């Protein structure tokens, strides 16, 4: 079928709207009419080739919409079902079989390799293949996705457009707290970065019962919103010369947990330094080289430094849980979202980069 998609042709180039060809779903796949798709830092990383995705490609990995067609072996979905979409995984490696799909041994090949899990493509233009992304390529009017990567949404009424960012950024931040760290009630946490991932971690920390939740950022408006969403304290990095010192003063010695969502090496070091003895620092942003002294900064204080992918989440279980928290008023992630028409994708990326919105969501 022919459809409109936003194509990335070369490194750093603006998205261009093109008519492309989308192949029919295979036996274990579904065809989804896209309602909305979130704009994520991972898309920008792929666009700039920080993550070397083959080009040309159709990016977009936080899609949601309505099922139009299902493959012959698909039993879970039927046309008309509302779905969210998340990352791809193979389903047969040791990690997948032990319910750790986020750590699929074939994760990078499936999500960033430009092909679907079976090694083939679904997208083309003028007979030439176009690379896929995250097994969905949702910067488009339609997407083919493995049924294993789709999440059937509850029957209750919900604005379908809101579901889009749950597939990656929001589940990454919230899941890091609720699925992996599982902080003790009354513990303390610092979150570096007040974007979608950081704000989701802050809301999750409130759900978990953390006593002190410190938001670290440089945008005054975002820090104000962080307080509204659950932060108990804020540190404006532009107004202090000692972020770590400020955090230790607030917590009388350091936090139990620290999360960096920025991907800035210096903030990773500061997150680790802000932890108290036996504290745990988490890296959630795509980060380059970081140099630190193992004895003085890590081992000597019995600290842990860990990386978490996709919030350690099983999307089919975790996304409905987040929606339940939202309905109960415990997880107001809608306050992060600004909607843009699909044709304004370049504006959405620009304003996201400039901090004019926290979570841009394209509406098809």
Full-model pTM: 0.94
Could you identify the residue written with the tokens 């309905």?
A: 327
CA atoms within 13 A on the CB side of 91: 9
Q: How far apart are CA 345 and CA 125, in angstroms?
A: 20
Provide the β-strand partners of residue 123: 22, 130
The predicted pLDDT at position 8 comes to 96
The predicted pLDDT at position 279 comes to 97
Q: What is the pLDDT of residues 147-174, one digit of tens each?
A: 999 999 987 778 899 999 999 999 999 9
Domain boundary assignment for the chain: 2-167+332-363, 173-308
Given the DSSP bridges, would you call strands 63-70 and 82-85 parallel, antiparallel or unpaired? Answer: antiparallel
* Number of helical H runs and strand E runs in the chain: 10, 17
Question: What are the strands, taking DSSP E only, across 134-232?
Answer: 142-146, 150-152, 188-192, 212-217
Kindly give the parts of the chain with pLDDT less than 50. none
What top-level class would CATH report for the domain 173-308? alpha beta
3-state secondary structure of 227: helix
The predicted pLDDT at position 12 comes to 84
Fold: same for 2-167+332-363 and 173-308: no
The predicted pLDDT at position 355 comes to 84
The domain defined by 2-167+332-363 folds into: Quinone Oxidoreductase; Chain A, domain 1 (3.90.180)
Q: What is the pLDDT of residues 97-123, one digit of tens each?
A: 999 999 999 999 999 999 998 899 999
And the tokens for 88?
A: 């791809």
Sorted by sequence, the CB contacts under 8 Å of residue 202 that are 6+ apart come out as 173, 191, 194, 213, 215, 226, 229, 230, 231
DSSP 43-105: HHHHHTTSS---SSB-----EEEEEEEE-TT--S--TT-EEEE-----S-SHHHHTT-GGG-T
Averaged confidence pLDDT in the chain? 95
Could you identify the residue written with the tokens 């067609």?
A: 69
């Amino acid at each position: 079928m022919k459809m409109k998609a936003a194509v990335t042709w070369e490194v750093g180039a603006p998205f261009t709207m093109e008519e492309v060809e989308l192949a029919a779903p295979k036996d274990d796949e579904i065809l989804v009419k896209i309602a909305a798709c979130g704009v994520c830092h991972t898309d920008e990383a792929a666009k700039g080739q920080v993550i070397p995705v083959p080009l040309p490609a159709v990016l977009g990995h936080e899609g949601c919409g309505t099922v139009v067609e299902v493959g012959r072996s698909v039993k879970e979905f039927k046309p008309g079902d509302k779905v969210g979409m998340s990352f791809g995984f193979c389903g047969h490696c040791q990690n997948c079989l032990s319910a750790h799909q986020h750590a699929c041994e074939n994760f990078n090949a499936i999500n960033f390799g430009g092909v679907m899990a079976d090694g083939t493509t679904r997208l083309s233009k003028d007979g030439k293949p176009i690379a896929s992304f995250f097994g969905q390529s949702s910067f488009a009017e339609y997407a083919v996705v493995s049924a294993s990567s789709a999440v059937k949404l509850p029957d209750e009424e919900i604005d379908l457009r809101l579901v889009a960012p749950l597939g990656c950024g929001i589940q990454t931040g919230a899941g890091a707290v609720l699925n992996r760290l599982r902080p003790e009630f009354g513990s303390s946490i610092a979150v570096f970065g007040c974007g979608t991932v950081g704000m989701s971690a802050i809301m999750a920390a409130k759900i978990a019962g953390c006593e002190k939740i410190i938001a670290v950022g440089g945008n005054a408006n975002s820090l104000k919103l962080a307080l509204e969403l659950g932060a108990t304290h804020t540190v404006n990095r532009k107004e202090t010369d000692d972020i770590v010192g400020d955090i230790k003063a607030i917590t009388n010695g350091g936090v139990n947990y620290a999360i960096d969502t920025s991907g800035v090496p210096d903030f990773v070091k500061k997150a680790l330094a802000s932890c108290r003895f036996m504290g745990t620092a988490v890296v959630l942003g795509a980060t380059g080289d970081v140099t630190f002294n193992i004895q003085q900064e890590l081992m000597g204080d019995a600290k842990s430094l860990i990386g978490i992918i996709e919030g350690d989440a099983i999307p089919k279980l975790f996304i409905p849980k987040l929606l339940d928290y939202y309905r109960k008023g415990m997880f107001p992630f809608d306050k992060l979202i600004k909607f843009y028409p699909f044709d304004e994708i370049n504006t959405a990326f620009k304003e996201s980069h400039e901090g004019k919105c926290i979570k841009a969501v394209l509406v098809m």
